[in-house]
Amino acid sequence: MKAFEVRAPHDFGIVDVEDPRVGADEVLVGPAFAGICGSDMHIIHGDNAFVRFPRITGHEFAGVVEAVGESVTGIAAGDRVCIDPVINCGECYPCRIGRPNVCSRLEVIGVHRDGGFEQRVSVPAGNVHHIPEHVGLDQAALVEPYTIACNVLDRMQSHDGDALLILGAGVIGLTILQVARAKGLTNITVSDVIDDRLEVAHSLGASHTVNGQREDLEAVMTERTGGEGVPLIADAACVPALFPQLARIASPAGRIGLLGFNTTPSDLVQLEVIKKELSIVGSRLNNRKFPEVIEMLASGRLDAMALVSHRLPFAEMGEAIHMIDHHPERVCKVLIELDA
């Protein structure tokens, strides 16, 4: 069968591989659609510290069940499903307190083990989620990015009426915007430096948009909040140099959610954090958010297709990666059709 394999940094392509084995507690899925994520690009560039090469990437995918292991119940061949990529041990401290997404022995499908950019993939049955009939497989392939948004909003303890500032109008910023609106937040500002992305954010319901290259974000937010500051700030831009500004923009008792894996140190003004009693939280992957997002999609509260800027057949994976690398301003989400 065909698979997209990253053999080493900058060494990748579609190759022939053996069909995967299906363990007793596993399910064999034929992916129909898969999204290319920023973390896939980090693997290709050699910037992901967690990956083990060679690796078949892809952690955003949906498809049809082809076979199930002998111990699997509740799942059958022909079922339409999407896959939660988070695999946890169930025994370590984070797992025991209900935080499996930061399991001490965490594995991520598409990073630590082979993922969805192949014609058939074997996954643990516990990671399989059924899709309602009226939800397309292309939509379902994008459940995973929305779970990232659900997770960071939960980590920040968002409340009705809170104002929210989102830094970055890429895929994750736009999913946070959509999920926040689905959860009832209405006062949402999105900041970016690319006008086209800000236009998409506005079309998806952002109350305000700010181009950080032309406007002073801190001054704008100070004016808009009457000097009170912003209760919720989600950093989907992941630029460490901006962190001191975020602490200044945040309101007393504000919450800042960080999503990036950037290793560059950030300046932390302890006085700003302490006098406001800010909560600064990291958010990684998702903590069992797939059912919540699937319900949001099924009810029409999320517009997953609004994220998709390009749809390409599997054979054009190389072209898709070149486009993302060289023309990122033109790309939001690239969706790959594996059975095309």
Task: Indicate which CATH number applies to the domain containing 52.
Answer: 3.90.180.10
Q: How confident is the model at residue 159 (pLDDT cuts 50, 70, 90)?
A: confident
Same domain, 129 and 155: no
Length of the chain equals 340
By residue range, what is the domain housing residue 251? 147-282
Q: What is the pLDDT of residue 18?
A: 96
Q: What is the pLDDT of residue 262?
A: 85
Distance between CA atoms of residues 216 and 213, nearest Å: 8
Q: What is the pLDDT of residue 325?
A: 96
| Domain assignment of residue 6, yes or no | yes
Number of neighbours of residue 136 by Cβ within 10 angstroms: 16
Number of neighbours of residue 162 by Cβ within 10 angstroms: 22
| Domain assignment of residue 298, yes or no | no
| Domain assignment of residue 290, yes or no | no
Q: What is the pLDDT of residue 160?
A: 86
| Domain assignment of residue 288, yes or no | no
Same domain, 157 and 104: no
Which residue is listed with tokens 């926040």? Answer: 180
Enter the tokens of residue 237. 């831009």
Q: How confident is the model at residue 274 (pLDDT cuts 50, 70, 90)?
A: very high
- Alpha-carbon 313 to chain mean position: 22
Enter the tokens of residue 155. 């980590």
User: Residue 2: enclosing H or E segment and its boundaries?
Assistant: strand 2-8
Q: Where are the extended beta strands (E) located within 154-285?
A: 164-167, 188-192, 208-211, 230-235, 250-258, 279-282
Could you tell me which residue, 50 or 80, shows the higher pLDDT? 80
Same domain, 187 and 274: yes
pLDDT score of 336 more than 80? yes
Among 142, 117, 168, residue whose Cα is nearest residue 13: 117
Same domain, 126 and 44: yes
Q: How confident is the model at residue 46 (pLDDT cuts 50, 70, 90)?
A: very high
Q: Please tell me the pTM assigned to this model.
A: 0.96
Same domain, 6 and 137: yes
**Mean pLDDT of the residues in the chain:** 96
| Domain assignment of residue 252, yes or no | yes
Same domain, 184 and 277: yes
Same domain, 135 and 254: no
Average pLDDT score over residue span 153-176: 96
Average pLDDT score over residue span 99-124: 98
Same domain, 250 and 313: no
Distance between CA atoms of residues 89 and 105, nearest Å: 6
Same domain, 41 and 21: yes
What confidence tens digit (pLDDT) does each residue in 86-107 have? 999 999 999 999 999 999 999 9
Q: How confident is the model at residue 24 (pLDDT cuts 50, 70, 90)?
A: very high
pLDDT score of 340 more than 80? no
Number of domains in the chain: 2
Parallel, antiparallel, or unpaired for β 55-56 and 2-8?
A: antiparallel
Contact criterion met (CB below 8 Å) for 108 and 86:
yes
Q: Which amino acid is it at 290?
A: F
**To the nearest whole percent, how much of the chain has pLDDT over 70?**
100
- Alpha-carbon 193 to chain mean position: 20
Distance between CA atoms of residues 191 and 312, nearest Å: 29
| Domain assignment of residue 168, yes or no | yes
CATH number of the domain enclosing 165: 3.40.50.720
Distance between CA atoms of residues 50 and 87, nearest Å: 14
Contact criterion met (CB below 8 Å) for 267 and 289:
no
Same domain, 128 and 47: yes
Enter the tokens of residue 46. 């050699």
Same domain, 94 and 152: no
| Domain assignment of residue 262, yes or no | yes
Distance between CA atoms of residues 308 and 305, nearest Å: 5
Burial 251-282 (b: 16+ CB within 10 A, else e): beebbbbbbbeeeeeeeeeeeebeebebebee
Angle, CA 205 vertex, CA 137 and CA 254 arms, to 5°: 105
